[in-house]
């Protein structure tokens, strides 16, 4: 016995509309979230770079033979970082720093030295909206230095 073939059922024209509605509704929500997470990533990267730069600057200072040489070394480290950062499309913000020695002479063996490093950073939202990044590092001058 032969089976009778039924004609194809009429397709519903609303089948693809759920996907289109999802895309149209979700896209305006995803774009601000994506911008927010990109901004947070940029801030986190800048903070990590500042902390590392503060440690490197402190190390350059405490290994110097004199205070003036220490400040020159710190400035050299900051200038080199600025060159590399500006070549990578970085913020090009100027650094300032403060070195404190806790009432002791800075480069005497065993003394504790602290550096506070400051830099103004531009944000994604507005070039006039500046954010100040701060990093600190402290360390001791080698007790066995001559």
Phi, psi of 79 (to 5 degrees): -65, -45
CA distance 96 to 87: 20
CA distance 4 to 41: 64
pLDDT tens-place string over residues 36-72: 999 889 888 888 999 999 999 999 999 998 899 999 9
HSE-up (13 A, CA, CB side) for residue 126: 4
Cβ pair 87, 69 in contact under 8 A:
no
pLDDT tens-place string over residues 90-106: 656 788 999 998 777 88
């Amino acid at each position: 016995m032969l089976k009778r073939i039924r004609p194809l059922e009429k397709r519903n024209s609303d089948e693809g509309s759920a996907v289109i509605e999802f895309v149209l509704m979700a896209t305006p929500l995803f774009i601000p979230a994506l911008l927010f997470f990109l901004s947070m990533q940029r801030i986190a990267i800048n903070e990590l770079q500042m902390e590392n730069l503060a440690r490197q600057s402190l190390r350059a200072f405490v290994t110097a033979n004199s205070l003036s040489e220490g400040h020159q070394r710190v400035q050299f480290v900051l200038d080199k970082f600025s060159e590399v950062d500006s070549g990578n499309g970085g913020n090009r913000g100027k650094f300032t720093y403060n070195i404190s020695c806790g009432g002791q002479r800075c480069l005497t063996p065993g003394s504790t030295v602290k550096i506070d490093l400051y830099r103004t950073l531009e944000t994604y939202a507005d070039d006039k909206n500046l954010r100040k990044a701060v990093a600190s590092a402290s360390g001791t001058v080698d007790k066995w230095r001559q």
